[in-house]
Structures are given as C-alpha cells and as structure tokens.
Amino acid sequence: MALTASTYGKAQVRVMRLSRDGDHHTPRELSLTVLMKGAFEAAWTRGDNRACVATDSVKNIVNVTAARNLDLDKEAFVRAVASVFLDTYPQVEAVTIEALETRWLRHAFDGQPHGHTFTRDGNGFGYVGLEASREGAVLCSGLRGYTLMKTTQSGWAGFVDDQYRTLPDATDRIAATSMDATWTWTGTPADYAAANARALALMIAVFGTTYSYGVQDSMYRMGRAVLAEIPEIAEIGFAMPNKHYIPINLAPFGLENPGTVFLPTDEPHGQIVATIGRD
C-alpha cells in the first residue's frame, strides 16, 4: 500500500499581539492552522520520526514570530510564520496556513476613539423576553454574547490565598467578557430602541473608562449606572464569563514578554452572575 498524500501541523493556535503606544493599544488576534508538507513519509510508513517537527514546536514558532512582529497585519504575519519553517527546516517543502481573525473595533466615547476599549466586530444578539398571563406581563430586553475588552485598567488581587491558589495578584491585566445582560421593564420608555442603546452605552462607558477591581466590581457599577439613568428599568441581570488572555512565557526562546503576546482562551472560564435592582 502506498502513502499517497500526507500533511501535519497544529490547529487552533490562538495568539493575540498587543501593540502599546502609551495609552493607545492595538490588539491583533488570530487563530491559526499551520500544516507542513515534506519529507515526513517515514513517520507514517516506518514509525521513524527523525524528520518531524513537533506540533508543539509549531505553536512555539507562531508565538515567537508574534513576539518579533507585533505590528504586522495578518497577511504579512502569516508570511513571516511561513518563512520561519521554510528557512529553518530543509525537509519542509510547503507550508499551508489558514488564520481566522477576531476583529476588535476601537470604541469611541463622545466621538473620541478610546485608547484601550474595544468591542468585537459583528457583536452579540439583541434579546427580548415576555412572560404574559391574564394577571399581567413581565417584559425584558437585553443582549446575548456581547463581547467587549479593555487592554489595561483592570486587576484581580487580594482574593483567598490558600493551598489551592496558583494565580498571582494582578493589578494591570486584560479584561474581556462575552456578556449576557437582561433588564426588566416596569415602565414604558418613549422609545425602546433608544433606551436599549443608552443602556448599552452606559455599560460600555463604565467598563471601558474606569478601573476595574474585578468583573464583579465592574458588573455592579454597570448595573447601577443603567438604573440611575433609565427609570423605566426595574432591575438588570448579568452573566459575564471571563475571556482570558494569558501572557505567553517566551523565556525559553530568550525573549521577554512585556505584556504584548497572549494566549486567548475561554475554556475553562470564570462565570460571574448577579442581578442589580432598586432599593
């Protein structure tokens, strides 16, 4: 039997490059599949792996290339990754790279683009829920899966320190979440669409422009801001999972990582849920 075709590599290699120019940050997030073709037949036909590049090394090459090329657009970045393979390994004849981009849109407040607050392109779903009976009705509006991020001005510190803790205190970290928010109406606003848009704008403003001591802290203040300005809303509930961006250890490659290259991951994630109502 003949081996007529073969390729191998690494899929779902997630990396975010974060360019920092003072308070002006630019995130570039990709999920890559990198596959190699070349003189690897013996690994299939004879169990001989001597020519093989470990798929873990494929991931490392992506991360190192990211650290060395923070500002490249995605097209130039995948070319840079491919060049590492072709320049380093003579047994690699061709490299196929596919990358999916998570597009982060810079948010603006009062018409001014913000330095480190972003929302995801093609973001979330509007939500409405109604429970109606002959005795009355409860109407809710909200959002599902609305994803937002800020690349600084967030921390998580001072939590329980016991034999199970491995997470260090952090006072400057990336904060990102895919938010479900539901607000319950007790009155009828002049315009539901305008009121819903105002609720979202208030939540983003609190999240993006104030320091966060944790998701719990931001969540509570986001809810208070909505209730303070929109009297027709009785309460607002949140479910805000953490989308983690973990700094990648580049020390084995002789590189520092001053908060510029991250592993995006959302499994497992912290899940923070609360309802904020009126007194």
Of 10, 25, 107, 243, the catalytic one is 10
pLDDT of residue 38: 96
Same domain, 160 and 273: yes
Per-residue pLDDT band for 133 (boundaries 50, 70, 90) equals confident
Q: Residues annotated in the binding site for O2, as ranges?
A: 55, 242
> Is there a domain that residue 219 lies in?
yes
Give the tens place of pLDDT for each residue, 68-123.
999 999 999 999 999 999 999 999 999 999 999 999 999 999 999 999 999 999 99
% of the chain beyond a pLDDT of 90: 97
CATH number at residue 56: 3.10.270.10
Same domain, 70 and 124: yes
Same domain, 117 and 172: no
Residue-averaged pLDDT of the chain: 96
Cα radius of gyration rounded to whole Å, the chain: 23
- In this structure, what token pair is assigned to residue 171? 């006072």
Please state whether beta strands 271-277 and 233-241 pair in parallel, antiparallel, or not at all (unpaired).
Answer: antiparallel
Give the tens place of pLDDT for each residue, 43-64.
999 999 999 999 999 999 999 9
Looking at residue 239, what DSSP letter applies?
A: E
Same domain, 152 and 229: yes
> Is there a domain that residue 140 lies in?
no
Q: Alpha helix locations (H) across the chain?
A: 41-45, 55-68, 74-88, 192-209, 215-229
Global pTM reads 0.91
Q: How far apart are CA 15 and CA 262, in angstroms?
A: 6
Q: How many domains does the chain have?
A: 2
Is residue 157's pLDDT more than 90?
yes
Same domain, 266 and 152: yes
Q: How far apart are CA 96 and CA 179, in angstroms?
A: 35
Of 26, 33, 37, 244, the catalytic one is 244
Q: Which of 134, 160, 175 is the last residue of a domain?
A: 134
Q: Compute the average pLDDT of residues 12-27.
A: 97
Distances (CA, A) of 3 to 7, 36, 53, 55, 195: 11, 16, 19, 21, 63
Is residue 279's pLDDT more than 90?
no
Q: How far apart are CA 279 and CA 277, in angstroms?
A: 7
> Is there a domain that residue 139 lies in?
no
Q: Residues annotated in the binding site for urate, as ranges?
A: 55-56, 173, 215-216, 242
Q: Which of 113, 134, 155 is the last residue of a domain?
A: 134
Q: How far apart are CA 122 and CA 263, in angstroms?
A: 22
Of 26, 33, 37, 55, the catalytic one is 55
Same domain, 94 and 153: no
Per-residue pLDDT band for 174 (boundaries 50, 70, 90) equals very high
Q: Residues annotated in the binding site for 5-hydroxyisourate, as ranges?
A: 55-56, 173, 215-216, 242
Known catalytic residue at 269: no
Q: Which residue has the higher pLDDT, 260 or 266?
A: 260
- In this structure, what token pair is assigned to residue 167? 């997470």
> Is there a domain that residue 247 lies in?
yes
Same domain, 15 and 119: yes
> Is there a domain that residue 1 lies in?
no
Same domain, 86 and 196: no
pLDDT of residue 147: 98
pLDDT of residue 203: 98
> Is there a domain that residue 2 lies in?
no
> Is there a domain that residue 3 lies in?
no
pLDDT of residue 1: 85
Same domain, 120 and 188: no
Whether 170 and 156 have beta carbons less than 8 Å apart is answered as yes
Same domain, 180 and 61: no
> Is there a domain that residue 208 lies in?
yes
Count of CB atoms situated within 10 Å of the CB of 166: 4
Q: Residues annotated in the binding site, as ranges?
A: 55-56, 173, 215-216, 242
pLDDT of residue 34: 97
- For residue 70, with 0-12 CB atoms within 10 Å meaning exposed, 13-18 middle and 19 or more buried, which class applies? middle
Range of the domain at 162: 145-277
- In this structure, what token pair is assigned to residue 237? 């509930």
Count of CB atoms situated within 10 Å of the CB of 60: 17
Give the tens place of pLDDT for each residue, 232-244.
999 999 999 999 9
Q: How far apart are CA 177 and CA 149, in angstroms?
A: 7
Q: Which of 107, 134, 161 is the last residue of a domain?
A: 134
Q: How far apart are CA 196 and CA 181, in angstroms?
A: 11
139 Cβ contact partners less than 8 Å away, ≥ 6 residues apart: 128, 129, 130, 184, 185
Is residue 266's pLDDT more than 90?
no
Same domain, 121 and 158: no
Comparing CA positions, the residue from 274, 273, 264 lying closest to residue 102 is 264
Known catalytic residue at 37: no
Q: Compute the average pLDDT of residues 158-183.
A: 96
Known catalytic residue at 25: no
% of the chain beyond a pLDDT of 70: 100
Same domain, 165 and 262: yes
